[in-house]
Amino acid sequence: MSKQIDEAKNYIESENFSEALKLARKRHGKDDIESYLSILDLLIEADYLPALEEKGMYYQYYDPSHDNGDYGEKYFDKYLEKQPRSINALCDKAMSRFNKGHVDEALGLINKAQEKYKSYSKIEKPRISKRELDMSRIELLIQSKRYDDALKDLIKYENQFGSDQKSDLYMGQMLQKNGKNREALEYLDKSLEEEATLLAFNSRGDAYYELKEYDLALKDYEKCLNYESQITDDLELKTNFNYKSAFCCVKLGNENEAVKFLNKTINMLNEHGRLPKDLEAIYQKCSFEKEKLLKAGDVEDKEFKKTRFLSTKTALIILVIILILYVILKMIGYG
């Protein structure tokens, strides 16, 4: 048993739980995970609630396997059994559900946290502010593609707290998703003045695209391409600015550049095998457009030209050589 665990036991016996928790966190900071978890278990046995959340947070964020994909949820559940009005634990559990792919359930937990915020348990002050909680709900609405509800919440958020870089970006995105493209531009311009982000360029490109201002849309999509290497897990986003770049080029009369983007999008989607319906529709749209452009003439498919085909004469010569070799091998006893 380590010296630190003995020290933690002494703190717990004298009911100095906060010092034992500090000691545990120091062990975590020194990558002594075994001692860290052991001290937390001692605190949990002593019914010290913050240790339950601490252990859940470890599996939520730090453990490589996230406790076999549980993301600390069982610890947040135990916490909520003892303190059902805990805003912190409700938000923690919402994150666990989100990480497991249950966005609607996560949203339900955030809704519950919002309802309880005004009368939260006096034992525990929420770690998250009301402003942050409202923004968490907005982000979950966006994740679940409930764009009209997200827009309504953003309007309430702006009326209550004013605007900031994040709310300007989301407001621009949601206005665009709801077909209010001209209004969206005002927010996206403001967001980009505060910080140049891929999401803002993509959404502003979409707004210009829907307004048929294809030259401006293409400029924004080209800026997205500068960030493309940073996208690791959002195929939908990457597909969006690539395939729309292709169709901007078509509208602007640059068919050769369009084919380049169409090839890139088709190849990118091919690499992912079975696609969801929306991406499958984009794949088909790109394939049909490429075929149409090639049939119309005057378009070079440079990628296709890289593939070299043998002439008929060369192919016949190779075939004869193979047959001769086959006969020789037969004569000397092979085959």
In this prediction, residue 311 carries a pLDDT of 45
Q: What is the pLDDT of residues 104-114, one digit of tens each?
A: 999 999 999 99
Instruction: Say whether 333 sits in a helix, a strand or coil.
Output: coil
In this prediction, residue 53 carries a pLDDT of 93
| pLDDT range class, residue 328, cuts 50, 70, 90 | low
Whether residue 155 has pLDDT greater than 90: yes
Which has the closest alpha carbon to 107: 128, 119, 122, 93? Answer: 93
Whether residue 145 has pLDDT greater than 80: yes
Mean of pLDDT values over 115-137: 82
In this prediction, residue 335 carries a pLDDT of 56
For 223: left if phi > 0, alpha if psi spans -120 to 50, otherwise beta; the answer is alpha
Whether residue 269 has pLDDT greater than 70: yes
Mean of pLDDT values over 250-259: 94
In this prediction, residue 183 carries a pLDDT of 97
Q: How far is CA 325 from CA 53, 311, 321, in A?
A: 75, 21, 6
| pLDDT range class, residue 231, cuts 50, 70, 90 | confident
What values do phi and psi take at 70, rounded to 5?
Answer: -80, -25
Q: What is the pLDDT of residues 58-99, one digit of tens each?
A: 999 999 999 999 999 999 999 999 988 889 999 999 999 999
Q: Is the pTM of this model over 0.85?
A: no
Poorest-confidence range of 24-33, 117-126, 245-254? 117-126
What share of the chain in percent tops pLDDT 70? 88
For 278: left if phi > 0, alpha if psi spans -120 to 50, otherwise beta; the answer is alpha
| pLDDT range class, residue 4, cuts 50, 70, 90 | confident
Q: What is the pLDDT of residues 6-40, one digit of tens each?
A: 999 999 999 999 999 999 999 999 899 999 999 99
Mean of pLDDT values over 305-322: 54
Q: What is the mean pLDDT of the chain?
A: 88
